[in-house]
Amino acid sequence: MSAPRNAVTALLLAAGALAAAPAGTVVGGPFEEALYSIVENSDGTLAAAGFATRHPPSRAIDATFDDPFEYLEALHRQNGEQARLICLSQGGRIIRERPLVLGVFSRAVALLTNPAGGYIAGGYDGDGQLAVNALGGEGKHYLTRFGTSGYDRMVRLVMLRDGGVLAVGSSATTRDANDPLFLQGLGRGDLFLTRLSRTGEILWSRKYGSSGDEEGVDAAEAGDGTLLVVANRDGETGPSVVLMRLSETGDPLWHRSYTGADRAHAIVARGDGSFTVSLSRHEKERETIRLLTFDLQQRILSERDLPAKADRVLYDLALRESGIVGAGYIRENGKSGKDALLMALDNDGTVLWEKRFGEGGRDLFRSVVVLRDGSVAAAGETTAPGREERDMWIVRVDGSGNVPAASAH
């Protein structure tokens, strides 16, 4: 198991070797590690998923291989990127860390909980194959692997009302008419959606796209069971954002191209039946945040810009009692380093508070969750000054964005 940098830092500080560690819990090793998704458990503890790179000391493999590729696969299983699940106490102490079975050289990019207390994790492996792994709970255990002969990448899992999940991602174009899953691609790359039942059975898989290049971003389920999907498109006329509404079986009901932003990052369903998307706009050599809200009839209800004197991006959004909270990064003009960013907004899009976290390296949050007590937890990665490798990072703040004293290391 990786060592929490908090403990290691205390020893190095005593020797005057380091500056102070960032707030929250940092889980690091000698190689690359990062977190992509965070959830709250039923007992108030936290769980997060991502990947860690492992290169253990060489050891003999207790088997004989006639096929050299089988031997290489055996080596891969004990080396390289591994999808990981970590659990933390309410105070930020690591309770356990375990690998997730997604494939060789794998990354977990999404983590969900179900009412029965289990987890559902999703990700992809080094060959571009996709996997959804259920660990206990209502659907018991299952591992569903899928993908095309091309390179596929998952970015989100969305929990659905029937206990199943929707996988969102991108798929490289295949021109193989016999491909059993996504059939032929439409452009250079396409948005893909796969719906799974509560027991892991694939109900349907579809590609959506144009002659350009599309990538899946996120999705949300409406109260009537239809699906609202967001994708990014790079076409001949430049970048745009695609908004789609699909039936429960994946049939398009409507779609529209939105040219008021360059990239989309996340969507959240609001309590009033509307949906808000986090967007990025490049304006005057600066990357700024735009929040776009629309309804089921594809009407644009509001476009809220959040100008600043620095680059800012919100990679994830979560609904809170009186608005939303977003997580991402902030970068001062002309600087290569980033600080992680948390921001809370009211229902009108007015910023209530904005907090930045970091220690001068490359820091960002990829996932945020609003906890039952009103506090907020975010997960991502941090890179210490002078170091190239990323570490896993989780920060918990109260409803006003302040780090509790026990977590402010």
User: In terms of DSSP H, where are the helices of 32-76?
Assistant: 68-76
Highest-pLDDT range among 16-25, 123-132, 172-181, 344-353:
344-353
**Lowest mean per-residue pLDDT among 10-19, 39-48, 257-266, 277-286:** 10-19
Rounded to an integer, the average pLDDT of 68-89 is 65
What's the CA gap between 103 and 131, in Å, rounded? 8
Residue 72 has pLDDT above 50, yes or no: no
Which positions ≥6 away from 154 have C-beta within 8 Å?
A: 109, 110, 122, 123, 124, 130, 167, 168, 169
Cβ(288)–Cβ(260) under 8 Å?
A: no
What is the percentage of the chain residues whose pLDDT exceeds 70?
81
What's the CA gap between 78 and 110, in Å, rounded? 23
Residue 11 has pLDDT above 50, yes or no: no
Cβ(341)–Cβ(312) under 8 Å?
A: yes
What predicted TM-score, i.e. pTM, was given to this entire model? 0.85
Residue 95 tokens read as: 């309770």
Domain layout of the chain by residue ranges: 1-146+380-409
pLDDT for 406 equals 59
Q: How confident is the model at residue 376 (pLDDT cuts 50, 70, 90)?
A: very high
Residue 94 tokens read as: 């690591």
Question: How far are the Cα atoms of 46, 76, 208, 219 from residue 370, in angstroms, in the given order?
Answer: 11, 37, 32, 18
Cβ burial, residue 113 (10 Å; 0-12/13-18/19+): middle
Rounded to an integer, the average pLDDT of 337-359 is 93
What's the CA gap between 223 and 96, in Å, rounded? 36
Q: How confident is the model at residue 387 (pLDDT cuts 50, 70, 90)?
A: confident
Q: Bigger pLDDT: 53 or 288?
A: 288
